Structure 1
Amino acid sequence: MVVKPVVQWKNLLLKIAGLILFFPFSIVVKFFLHIRNFLYDHEWMHVTRIGTPIICVGSVTAGGSGKTPVVEFLAAKLSREGCRVAVVSNGYRKKSTGTILVSDGKTIAASVESSGDEAYLLARNFIKNNLDIPVVSGADRIAAVQYLETSFRSEVIILDDGYQYRKLHSDWNIVILDYHEWLYPHWAIPLGRLRDLARRIDDADAILVSKCPEQVDPKPWEIFQPKKIFSSYPISSFVNYHTNASISLGSIAGRSVLAFAGLGFHESFCRSLQKICGDYQAVLKDFIEFQDHHWYQPREIKRIIDKAKRDRAVVVTTEKDAVKLKKEWMTQQVDAWIAIPKIKFLDDTFEIWATSISRHLQKTQTADMVSA
């Protein structure tokens, strides 16, 4: 009975040590963020403007806020409304350099290793849903945007995670804030997760609060009126890794579950799985965390599979992780499922906002045709 207080004291001491160690670095990072934004705000740093309108989807925190699902939803909506859309991903931790064409909108043109997991996943999902949306991956967003502008004559380009890339002008900015995380005190990296000044949230055209619970308390978010939009990202179904067959949530009833993922913020995925397991009397036996954008090794997957066999558990992971797994690693002796989330908005504000952009683009295109 005396072990628990000892563990708590050890954790507290580790947190205090981390605070002392990282606090000076966070102060330095925040200082440089102030300087950098001051230079851009006063136009002392050059900003490139291109002819094609740009929508930037980003965040002021590092990883895990839910930017890529919003990019996918927005690109699909604009494409279905008749706009020629293209997407630029930064390709974080991809195993290549330069600007990579991931997809021309019809076929995959690069491997997941060369593209980066998020860019590859976007390209694959667009093709699967018969959406002609080219995807380019590259840290140099200006080069990537110029490539799309000349090669595909896109009418609008969406930047995935580009809010800190101030050297390229964006016509519309969407900032994503995690509902469960943002209302707590924030520190700049490495002590906290802030990678930009919190005041830059006010510069956005829309503020999308992601991963909301079923019952939202709107009061703490009133400071963002009228820009805020509430959304959630629940798991809506599963897909069998081996057969690609769709699996209902109810199929998890009574099962033991072993989950793993490499995300920027694991708590949201874990929370969703725990809720599903609770709803269907399943048991989440273990949740194994890896670094965001982790490139898996065969030995890591073997350990997961072996543990699942011992526990007679179904293995569950995310779409972003599944695209990096090799078929030969995943034995069919163990059920392996991919969790499929679906973005939901608590009202129609975001769809109205996206439709207004679509109409603006169509009017601009019509005016250009008339003037030509």
Structure 2
Amino acid sequence: MIRIIRWIVLPLSFIYLFVVWFRNLLYDWGILKSRSFDIPTIVVGNLAVGGTGKSPMTEYLIQLLSKDYKVATLSRGYGRKTKGFREVSMDSTAMEVGDEPLQFKRKFPHVTVAVSEDRCAGVEKLKEQHDIVILDDAYQHRRLKPGFSILLLDYASFHKPILPLPTGDFRDNFSAVKRADVVVVTKCPSNLTAKEKQTITHKIRRYTAAPLLYTQIGYSTPLNVQQQPLAADLNNLDIVLFCGIAKPQPLISYLEQKNNRIHPLIFPDHHPFSKQDYKRIRLTYEELSCENKIILTTEKDIQRIQLESFKDLPLFYIPIHLLVMDFSQKTLDTLIRDCVSRPHNRPSSF
């Protein structure tokens, strides 16, 4: 039914596409102003809504750069109930700062993590005390002109019509890939064929000659809330999997490939879990008659849940990371380091 409704509102998609195209044109012509800064600013973004792997890419950049530079990350803080600029602390809550920024802070305590709807205002507050600002999900924030843009395109999006919202999933015209300094196709299958790559590459090369890389999502050993790894191998288990992420299917497929029996409880992206949800999760777990069973969620979801609701249950979360395919990791690292090391101009408007 939802799919039918989305096709019915196709005319709205063309109106949306025109508005986005016209807005981008005003920025391209300089009628609407963009601001640049005198420190490296790296934007990680996408064209479609949700689930392209922005968080793993942001974490990849933090790991690559934070050893040599004082790094700050800046996000909108999607799902938070607060407004304005806010620095994330270890005892912040997802309701205050959003789940992904909280994940960054807890994973990298030495890095400054901040949230602000106004990215320019956020960079202005961070620039004096930091060498680099990484902006998560800011590709459409045209008021800021980044020093380097990393555009992520989900592999699965190339297997369905590339249509704008609300009929499709794209929030920007596909031709916006021309603004990227590097294009990364994410969440690729391990058996990606040369023919598939050729087809995807052809679509992208119509708009840009920027470096093009292909990546996968890697899954690490599940951890409990005390950061202790799962003692048993992650196979032949009954797993109550609950998550509120945009695209849970890759995780489900990964777990099924390891001969696990999955009992999924899928919620909307950034879902605020309620007492009823916790009861449902507990009941699903208790109804399993087997002994080798666990409750599993994602690293993003663990930031939003009340751990007290699981204090007597085997709750684990599974971290993910970025895997660059085709021996291209050195290429990506070099592109990023070159951007950071080159001289930056004084701030200006365009």
Does TM, normalized by the shorter one, top 0.5?
Answer: yes
Q: Using CA pairs below 8 Å that are at least 6 residues apart, which structure has the higher relative contact order?
A: 2
- Answering whether residue 106 of structure 2 is matched by residue 124 of structure 1, we say yes
Query: Does residue 1:251 correspond to 2:238, yes or no?
Result: no
Contact preservation (8 Å) 2:6, 2:168: no
**Which is higher, the Rg of structure 1 or of structure 2?**
1
- Is 1:292 the counterpart of 2:279? The answer is no
Q: Which amino acid aligns with 1:40?
A: Y
Query: Which residue is 1:157 aligned to?
Result: 133
Tell me how far apart the structure 2 counterparts of residues 342 and 87 of structure 1 sit (CA, whole Å). 17
Q: CA deviation at 1:158?
A: 0.7
State how far apart, in whole Å, the 1-side matches of 2:88 and 2:318 are.
Answer: 23
How far did residue 83 of structure 1 move? 1.8
RMSD between superposed Cα atoms in Å? 2.1
List aligned pairs for 1:20-59, cutoff 5 A: 20=8, 22-59=9-46
Q: Aligned partners of 2:31, 2:76: CA distance in 1, in Å?
A: 25
Partner of 2:113: 135
Structure 2's unaligned 5+ residue stretches are none
Deviations 1:18-66 (A, max 9, x none): 411x212212111111111111111110111221221100000001110
Amino acid at match of 1:295: P
Q: What fraction of aligned residue pairs are identical, expressed as a percent?
A: 26
**Hey, what does 1:354 align to over in structure 2?**
333
Amino acid of the structure 2 residue aligned with 1:191: T
SS of aligned partner of 2:144: coil
Q: How is 1:209-358 mapped onto 2 (pairs within 5 angstroms)? A: 209-217=185-193, 218-223=197-202, 224=204, 227-241=211-225, 243-247=226-230, 251-276=233-258, 278=259, 282-284=260-262, 286-312=263-289, 313-332=293-312, 334-358=313-337
Equivalent in the alignment of 2:161: 185
Distance 1:135 1:342 in 2: 19
CA distance in 2, matches of 1:126, 1:297: 28
Helix, strand or coil at the partner of 1:233? strand
Read off the aligned partner of 1:246 and give its amino acid letter: P
Give the superposition deviation at 1:270. Answer: 2.1
What is the rounded CA distance, in whole Å, between the counterparts of 2:106 and 2:269 in structure 1? 20
CA distance in 2, matches of 1:26, 1:244: 45
Asked if the contact 1:237/1:341 (under 8 Å) is kept, the reply is no
Whether 1:197 and 2:173 are equivalent positions in the alignment is: yes
Structure 2 residue 41 is the aligned partner of structure 1 residue 61 = no
Residue 6 of structure 1 aligns with which residue?
Answer: none
Structure 1 counterpart of 2:7, one-letter code: L
Deviations 1:183-229 (A, max 9, x none): 32122111111000100113211111111111112221222466211
SS at match of 1:343: strand
**Matching residue of 2:183:** 207
In structure 2, what is the equivalent of residue 19 of structure 1? Answer: 7
Out of 118, 128, 146, the position equivalent to 2:124 is 146
CA distance in 1, matches of 2:236, 2:253: 18
Instruction: Give the C-alpha shift of residue 361 in structure 1.
Output: 3.2
